[in-house]
Structure 1
């Protein structure tokens, strides 16, 4: 209590601010525990640090410039620090996202890092109820919704290989990709092989159209000499 009295005269260093930091620690730790439970790369420590740091930044933004403010001369916009937190969190989110073949991984982790920073900012801003309800909503989304999402019907998508032969000196590769994209296909592994004057292109694709429809569309691409489909492709599963 003596320590609290020692700093009581300093704006922003009172019991209220300690409570806001403590709330940010608790709520951020909850999010981190969920990520730790799922054995994600960013876990308890990362999320707790992100949330508490965001709350501290908000407290600095609110109280850290009182000694330099002068009415009518020096004015500080507290929202500028909050905006920079949002921008700065991008490098952490980008660091946990990676793409393998046609699959993007880490989007949920990146989004949860973003949300944890928002929870910390809300705690630092004194919006305890909003921060608490947001954390509860996050836990509901992560623990309850996967159960019924797995029960939703899924549109069937067929995977197979498509091979295309064209003039090695021609520029038909981009046209093939554009044609498959227009047919709403997901493109997987792509390989090229050159034989004398011909270029052979093999693409793993997945979509709703039949192989015959795909071949018909590819034969309309300028520079394509022949196109055929291979056996069903299991590389997407």
Structure 2
């Protein structure tokens, strides 16, 4: 297999951009698969841009490099690391005490790193980093969710208007936030509007559940949402 240095400089640059495009596309597919805002397009553009900056740093000033004029190729690479943060910050959302988008922001950083590695011709590092990313997201992440949490006895009590489709909306919100919901008990209650329901639910998924609780509380037919320990319901 020929080394990258066996090709002409133009061929080296085009190969680097092509490899970067492929790897960052695979990185973005994972985010797209999880229905995140920053998908294939964002990661490809970040990676290709970083790769292009790195190539410019490595090749763009070769003609003016002399014994008296020194060019440091690492300077542009250092600026990429500093400048890419604004994109990562753009995909982080804070809702009360819940923070979302950190993983996507981290993959944007990885995308930039893949681009820089490809621009420097370090394809083996780029491929290995992509494999490690998939290992973390698809294997280590789900395994971490199996670790028992201190709030495994937590239950959510919701009171809502009966016959208005509120329960369907609650389950839909839970699914959209990545939770699996199971109903522990239900009981009819009286509310100001007439007939109501009181349901106790158990949500399995990420912790804390602040964002989920806030989303349920915003459903118009929901009158009250509270989280209690299972032992308090006995």
TM-score with structure 2 length normalisation? Answer: 0.62
Task: Work out whether residues 159 and 232 of structure 1, in 8 Å CA contact, stay in contact via their aligned partners in 2.
Answer: no
Distance in structure 2 (CA, Å) of the matches to 1:19 and 1:85: 21
**Cα offset, 1:159, TM superposition:** 9.6
Q: Does 1:113 align with 2:108?
A: yes
Residue 215 (structure 2) aligns with: none
In structure 2, the residue corresponding to 1:104 is in which secondary structure?
strand
Task: Work out whether residues 31 and 116 of structure 1, in 8 Å CA contact, stay in contact via their aligned partners in 2.
Answer: yes
In structure 2, the residue corresponding to 1:41 is in which secondary structure?
coil
Match of 2:130 among 121, 135, 139: 135
Residue 92 (structure 2) aligns with: 97
Runs of 4+ residues deviating >4 angstroms? 157-160
Task: Work out whether residues 93 and 110 of structure 1, in 8 Å CA contact, stay in contact via their aligned partners in 2.
Answer: yes
CA deviations over 1:43-79 (Å, ceiling 9, x no partner) = 11110111111111111000100122221x2111111
**Unaligned residue ranges in structure 2 (runs of 5+):** 1-7, 157-207, 212-223, 229-234
Distance in structure 2 (CA, Å) of the matches to 1:232 and 1:153: 24
Note the aligned Cα RMSD (angstroms).
Answer: 2.6
Residue 25 (structure 1) aligns with: 21
Q: Does 1:234 align with 2:230?
A: no
* Structure with greater proportional helix content: 2
Match of 1:46 among 42, 49, 53: 42
In structure 1, the residue corresponding to 2:112 is in which secondary structure?
helix
Distance in structure 1 (CA, Å) of the matches to 2:11 and 2:27: 25
**Cα offset, 1:17, TM superposition:** 1.6
CA deviations over 1:152-206 (Å, ceiling 9, x no partner) = 111228799xxxxxxxxxxxxxxxxxxxxxxxxx9x79xxxxxxxxxxxxxxxxx
**Unaligned residue ranges in structure 1 (runs of 5+):** 1-7, 161-185, 190-230
In structure 2, the residue corresponding to 1:99 is in which secondary structure?
strand
In structure 2, the residue corresponding to 1:70 is in which secondary structure?
coil
Q: Does 1:58 align with 2:54?
A: yes
In structure 1, the residue corresponding to 2:62 is in which secondary structure?
coil
Aligned residue pair count: 157
| Higher Cα Rg, which structure | 1
Residue 70 (structure 1) aligns with: 66
Task: Work out whether residues 20 and 126 of structure 1, in 8 Å CA contact, stay in contact via their aligned partners in 2.
Answer: yes
